[in-house]
Amino acid sequence: MNSYTDEEFDSIVSPILEIEEFNRLKYITHHGITRFDHSMRVAYYSYKISKSLRLDYKEVTEAALLHDFFLDEVDSENRVGRLRHHPEYAVKNASKYVDLSEKQIDIIRTHMFPVTFTPPKYLESWIVDAVDDVAALYEKGYCMHRQLRTAMFLFMFLVVNFVKMR
């Protein structure tokens, strides 16, 4: 079902992975991958960190998985508007399916701090905010690396053909 081989992690995320609307994230591009894959990565590493710190890792993992649960709500907005407003849509969508705790709402709502101005209230929110940032950097870097490799391949292809034509 997913590439993270941890039974406990699987059991925490499984109920959310069964939500049909959540699965629509598999078809939305986000940092060069799918929003679903990005959410799984943030959930997994938030799970690992919060478990090692003996925090309520189930609560953290669920909120981390749901932190970018928005679909097309911000499509008509500019980049800044999208960055600032999507956490509220994620809270709204997640609330339809999961009885979110106050801490989970804070985790989702503040995961874009400092782009959104309200700072996280809980250590768990700071963790997900940081994991999300690192995941985004990694994914954007990976995407750029792939694009550079493709550009390099095309460039070499053109050079080889140019040389052959001479």
Site residues (CB under 5 A) for Fe ion?
Answer: 68, 132
Angle of helix 57-66 versus helix 35-52 axis, rounded to 10 = 160
Shortest Å, Cβ 111 to Fe ion: 6
C-beta closer to Fe ion: residue 30 or 51: 30
Residues 6+ apart with CB under 8 A from 43: 9, 13, 61, 62, 64, 65
Please identify, using beta-carbon distances, which residue of 81 and 155 lies nearer to Fe ion: 81
If we measure between CA atoms, which residue out of 70, 45, 48, 57 comes closest to residue 12? 57
Our CB check for Fe ion shows the closer of 137 and 151 to be 137
Least distance between Fe ion and beta carbon 165 (Å): 47
Question: Least distance (Å) from Fe ion to the CB of residue 163?
Answer: 45
* Closest alpha carbon to 41 in 2, 95, 85, 84: 2
If the CB atoms of residues 106 and 132 are measured against Fe ion, the closer one turns out to be: 132
State in angstroms the smallest separation of the CB of 23 from Fe ion: 17
The percent helix, strand, coil of the chain (3-state, each to 5) is 70, 0, 25
